[in-house]
Every structure is written in structure tokens, then in C-alpha cells.
Amino acid sequence: MNVQKDAAKPASLFGNKFYRTILLSNILLQIGIWVRNFAILLFVVEKTGGEDSVAVSMIYVAEFAPIFIFSFIGGTFADRWKPKRTMIWCDFLSAVSVFLVLLALMFGSWQAIFFVTLVSAVLSQFSQPSGMRLFKLHLPADQMQQAMAFFQSLMAIFLVSGPFLGTFVFIQFGIEVSIAVMGVAFLLSAAVLLRLPDDREAKGEADTEKRFWSEFKEGFRYVWHSRVLRMLGVTFALAGLAVGISQALNIFIVTEQLGQRKEFLTYMLSVNGIAMLIGGGLIGVAAKKIPPQKLLAFGMAVGAATTVVIGFSTSVPLTLSASFLGGLSYPAIHIGIMTMIMQWSEDSIVGRVNGVLNPMFLGMMVLMIMGAGIMKQAVPLPVIYTVSAVLMALGALVLVPVFGQKAPIREPAAGGF
């Protein structure tokens, strides 16, 4: 029986047709998302003469607010709905919203551009947990962490190339072509997802008497009763607080600590993104050998150390070196978190677990972004960055008691894919 199962497994991760399909779909989505992010940002700055900070900030409100509002319920619906169908519909509806905005622009209503970001951000809260369910269904447990590592490498590639891609398309072709590129990318992603195996009826899926709010609460109970997921939630919140500080104040590191012009921040981000790409590749090679909780703790410990260096450094080479090391460690954080969520969650509830934990990070991050400016007026930058590092280190220490915990062994669904 076991021999038969092993023989049915792909020889390698990239021998899995499901994984190749998801990767191709994600590449197309990333093209659409990065063209969206920078084309819309540059378009709004152009339309407002670069003087309306409220209009520019509304782009980020449209992008992040839906995560607070829809992440909890999106995970619940993702567990109720068929994942393949959910992802295809989300990509298709994103494309429809893009073309509706293009139509509105043709009639002179440029403010409709915010609608693109809002709709795709909302739909992502249903699509992303559905994708995690499919990972659980179609990938063996021993390939999960490696799969997340290569996904992280893909994100890093677009972190470096995405801003250039979005800026190039907008400057060369204008907002109309940029929007068309977004719509086509989303449509192609939906078409690629048609190659996935058909959704199967999940156990209890036809139970119409089970109410939505009961399932919603079940996600919180599931996380609370799992020691590992509970500790992960605390780590998530601490990481969000730590990241929020540096996210908001990096520009002041450039201008005050290093004495550089604000444009120098682009170089810091590029160095960080290149390091993330390298780190994702390295972790992809070694992923099977390291438990995800140890991987996460390692990434946060390195992140804490580099944060202190960045906060105190007045040397450009030293700051860039610390930024590079921090970028190398970031994939360990992301991959560790996502692998833990998938390994310690049942197939039927992974969307809700993600919906409970993800807002903990983002909520704390946004809270700290809002408070960082006030802190900056009262406390020196090195002290603030030390606080960020301490929070990150505490997040790593929280995981120590669960280092010895092993994830439940669950076979992926057999689909001949």
C-alpha cells in the first residue's frame, strides 16, 4: 500500500503538474499586481500634481483595508467553497473590474482607478486561502516547505523587477494600456487555473444546516486549541509590530542616519529584494531538513540583529550589508509561517486558520505604522529600531517551547496529478 503511494508521487516538486500550474498562474498574477500598483500610483500622482497626499494614501487604504475587513470571513468562505472554482472566479472578476474601470476612464472619471485596487484586494482574501487548500490537497507534506521556498523566490523576483515593470508600462504606454495589461494578466491566470484537477466534494460540504457564523467561530477555536498555532499567532503579532516600525521609518534611516537623499531608499529596497531572492533559493534547497518553527525562529533572530545594526549605523556599506542579511533571512520567516499554517491545519479549515492569523500580523503592522511617526518625534531612531529588534527577538523566543513539536502526518488527496 505504501509502496503504491510512493510510486504515485512525482519524482520532484516540479514534476507535479499542480505545482507547475499554480506557479504559472502566480507569475501572471504578479505581473498584473505590480503593473497595477505602480501604474495607479504614478497615475494618481500625475493627476494630482504630486501635491495631494490624501489621494496617494487612499491607494494604500484601498489595498490594505479589505484585508482587515474580509480576511476573517474570506477564509471561512474559502473553506466552504470549492477552491479551484473560487480562484478562477476571483481572477475573472478581477479582470472584469479592470475593464470596467478602463471604460470609466474613457468617459473621464479618473477617480474610478481606486476601484481596481479595492476589488482585487477584496477578491484576494478569498483566492489566497483557497490556494492554500489546494496546496494541502495536492502536495505531499515533505514537499510543502520546499514549495513555499520557491514561491518566496518568485515573490522576491517581482519585488525587485515589479516596480520597474509597472513604471515602464505606464511611462511608455499610459494608463489605458497599463489597465489592459492588468486585465489580460488576470484573465490568463484564470485560464491557466482551468488545468487544475476538478474540485471534489469535501466531507460535510453539502451540510447546508451548518451556519456560516458557526464555521467562522470554529476557526478561532481551532487556533486557540492548537498550541503550535497559538504560539504562531503571538509570534505573528510581535513580528507585525516590529516590521511596522521599520516599514514606516526606513526613509529617515536614509536621510538622517546616512545623510543620503530620499531616492537612496530605492537602492536599499533593491539590495533587500535581491537578498530575498537568494535566500529563497537557498532555503528551497535546505527546506526539507529544517522544521518550520526553527526556520521561522532563525529568520526572526537574524532579522532582530540586522534591525539593531540598521538603527545605529551611520555607514552606507554597513547599512546595506545589514539590509542584505535581513533580506536573506526574510524568506525563512515567510516560508516558516506558511508551512506551519498548512502542516498544523486540517484541509477543511486551513482557510479559516489563515484568516485568523494573517490579520494579527497586518493589524499590528498598520497599528505600529500609525504610531511610528509619533514615536519618531519623541525618541531617537536607534532606540526605536532597538525596540523593533526586541519585539522580533521575543517573537523568536515564543517559538522555543514548540521546537520539538511534529506536525500531524496527513496524506494529500490522491488525484493522479
Domain boundaries along the sequence of the chain: 13-142+161-193, 220-402
Selected residue with higher pLDDT from 72 and 43: 43
User: What is the distance between the alpha carbons of residues 282 and 280, in angstroms, rounded to a whole number?
Assistant: 6
DSSP H helical ranges for 81-140: 83-106, 113-138
CATH number of the domain located at residue range(s) 220-402 in this protein:
1.20.1250.20
With a CB cutoff of 8 Å and minimum separation 6, the contacts of 268 are: 250, 253, 254, 319, 320, 323
Instruction: Report pLDDT for 287.
Output: 61
* Segment 151-166 mean pLDDT: 74
DSSP letter for each residue of 310-355:
HHH---HHHHHHHHHHHHHHHHHHHHHHHHHHHHTS-TTTHHHHHH
Residue 86 pLDDT > 80: yes
Selected residue with higher pLDDT from 369 and 94: 94
Residue 11 pLDDT > 90: no
* Segment 375-385 mean pLDDT: 85
Return the SS3 of 43.
Answer: helix
Q: What amino acid occupies position 116?
A: V
Name the band, by pLDDT with cuts 50, 70 and 90, for residue 134.
Answer: confident
Q: pLDDT digits over 216-252, tens only?
A: 677 778 888 888 888 898 998 898 888 877 766 777 7
Q: Which three cell numbers stand for residue 186?
A: 488576470
Return the SS3 of 412.
Answer: coil
Average pLDDT over the chain reads 78
Residue closest to 183 by CA, chosen among 84, 83, 105 = 105
* Segment 152-172 mean pLDDT: 77
Contact 7, 88 (CB under 8 A): no
Contact 300, 235 (CB under 8 A): yes
User: What is the distance between the alpha carbons of residues 162 and 181, in angstroms, rounded to a whole number?
Assistant: 13
DSSP letter for each residue of 267-299:
HHHHHHHHHHHHHHHHHHHHGGGS-HHHHHHHH
Residue 335 pLDDT > 50: yes
Name the band, by pLDDT with cuts 50, 70 and 90, for residue 209.
Answer: very low
Residue closest to 131 by CA, chosen among 184, 182, 189 = 189
One of 1.20.1250.20, 1.10.3720.10, 3.30.300.210, 3.90.1720.10 is the CATH number of 13-142+161-193, namely: 1.20.1250.20
Name the band, by pLDDT with cuts 50, 70 and 90, for residue 272.
Answer: confident
Instruction: Report pLDDT for 186.
Output: 92
| Fold: same for 13-142+161-193 and 220-402 | yes
Instruction: Report pLDDT for 289.
Output: 75
Q: pLDDT digits over 98-110, tens only?
A: 888 877 777 767 7
Contact 408, 299 (CB under 8 A): no
Q: pLDDT digits over 276-320, tens only?
A: 878 877 776 666 678 888 889 999 999 999 999 999 999 999 999
Least confident of 59-73, 295-309, 395-409: 59-73
Residue 321 pLDDT > 90: yes
